[in-house]
Amino acid sequence: MTQVAVIDLGTGNLRSVAKAVEHVCGKSSRVRITRDCSQIDQADKIVLPGQGAIGSWLSALSDADLNTALHKALKTKPVLGICVGMQALFEYNQEDGGHECLGLFKGTVIRFENGRIAEDGSVMKVPQMGWNQVKISQSHPLWQGIADNSWFYFLHSYYACETNSAEVFAQTEYGIPYASAVAKDNIFAIQCHPEKSHHVGLKLFENFINWNI
């Protein structure tokens, strides 16, 4: 039986993420919401969700003494980062006064510019909240069965820039194009919320459960 750990850092729709994973894997996997290092070590796959501010996310990681367990998992297990869980994987995030992050991917996370004008003449609101398209730029096992330009649900004020194009696997347009999915080796991370993205989100979770590295 596959053991899946949804890491609990006190942010994000943890139960919604866990329920979505349970829905696609049925009885073949056991899904745990946890901040227990031993359960993270024992898990076969790791989901790293997040919602809200990077400062509280990183503080919770430190307060729960999860740094060692998480860094080990990031080197050895399939990991899916979601929203702030994706942003934390970059080098630096300007939110909350600025924070050094985990540095697994090249790039800096910055805030969308207020009042940017879209192509249709509308004013882009911050945060981006709602449905937007994900344009796939590189193939990946987690894209299997998901069409290019599929619609996913987003909720965020910050985005990754100065990224390494070799690590960018999808882009989304919100006034400017930005990296909405990155991947390398055993890690795949996406800016949107697949747990809120109906059938395409469930397909992404299914692909993650079936992903062998």
Residues tagged active-site = 83, 193, 195
Phi-psi region of 46 (alpha: psi -120 to 50; beta: other; left: phi over 0): beta
Q: How far apart are CA 152 and CA 134, in angstroms?
A: 7
Residue with tokens 């919100």: 174
Residue 157: how many other CB atoms lie within 10 Å: 15
**Distance from C-alpha of 152 to C-alpha of 92, rounded to nearest angstrom:** 25
Question: Quick count: other Cβ atoms within 10 Å of Cβ 107?
Answer: 24
Indicate the SS3 state at residue 204: helix
